[in-house]
Amino acid sequence: MLIGSLLGGIVIVAIVVLYVLYERKRPDQLILIEKKGKVTGWTHAFYPKYRCLSLPNTTRSVTTEVKTQARGKIDAVIKLTVTFYPDAEHIENLIHIGGWSPDALTRIEKELAGTIQGIAGEIIEPLDIAEMTREYIAKIMKTRLNSIAANMGIIITGVTIMSAEASDPKIAEAIKKTEVAHLQEEAEKTVQTSRIAQAEMKARADQAILNAEHDTAMKKLALRQVEEAESAILAKAALEQHVERRHLELKIEKAEVELLAQNPSLLLLSPQLTRLTEASQQLKNAETVVTLSNDFFSKLPQPLQQILSMLKTEKPVNE
């Protein structure tokens, strides 16, 4: 029983000692430890408080006002804010500047404010007072600070220029008016450029429509020419067929005449003569009249002339 109580007491003492000597690391803390003269980050969940340095691992800001001179010795005032947080990879440089102290980041802020003063003066000095735009100063300032941030053991996250103007209110007002006029001029140029672009777009659209209409008209003309050419070909083919058919009919008629000339007895079988004879027989008191020119009659074969002469003189018998 005594041994159990003794062990329980030892455990309690050990827990108290650990609680006093060690502490749990928070996500917003940067725990540093020095080993063999080198500062490194503590990576375990619990750290020994007596050996480690705890720094806030959050974003901090430095707001400052820089009084400097622009080109021509014109006084200028720049108000700006720079945000940063500790750089774990170069934390040893931060300790070299801020010291092994919980106030290391406060000392870094003061060092950074002095650095900002010097860089701002270098940026503004070669500029004309009218050239001091916030965008330009912020861009150059961030580039310069990023180039030296690792040497200070920090990471620059942003540079904001609240104001950048001449110290003299009259000069500042004149610059503002100039900027307003410049902005109005730029706006007018933008509007004019937009109008010109719209006019050019409309002209291109109209030209495209005209080109499309012209192409359509040319295609219609080409189609009409094709149709006319096809119609001409069809008409020519029909005419050729008609001529060919006519030649064939003439050949047939010529062959019939030659056949009748060679065989006069077939003349009675001629359809024209048969119809003429039937018509003369069907009419009462009618006479069959065959009128032929002398030239044509003289060219007919002798048997045909005799038959035609008989038909000419024959009269139908009354019923």
Domain ranges for the chain: 20-56, 59-167, 187-260, 263-313
User: Could you give the angle at the alpha carbon of 169 between the alpha carbons of 168 and 170, nearest 5°?
Assistant: 90
For the entire predicted model, the pTM comes to 0.51
pLDDT at position 289: 47
Options 3.30.479.30, 3.40.50.10470, 3.40.30.10, 2.40.160.20; CATH of 59-167 = 3.30.479.30
Largest Cα separation within the chain, whole Å, is 179
Q: How many CB atoms sit inside 10 A of residue 279's CB?
A: 11
Cα 60 from Cα 170, distance rounded (Å): 36
Query: Which residues make Cβ contacts (< 8 Å) with residue 104, sequence separation at least 6?
Result: 53, 55, 94, 95, 97, 98
What is each CA distance from 229 to 6, 225, 238, 263, in whole angstroms?
Answer: 124, 6, 14, 50
Q: Are 84 and 58 in contact (CB under 8 A)?
A: no
Q: What is the pLDDT along the chain (319 residues), one digit of tens a residue?
A: 566 666 666 666 656 555 556 677 788 888 888 887 788 887 878 777 777 888 888 899 999 998 888 887 888 889 999 999 999 888 889 998 988 888 999 999 999 999 999 999 899 888 887 778 888 899 999 999 999 999 999 999 999 999 888 877 777 676 667 666 766 788 888 888 888 998 999 898 989 999 999 899 999 988 988 888 888 898 888 888 888 888 888 888 777 777 766 766 655 555 555 555 555 555 544 444 445 556 555 655 565 666 666 655 554 444 4
pLDDT at position 142: 93
pLDDT at position 6: 64
Write down the residue that tokens 């000095």 correspond to: 125
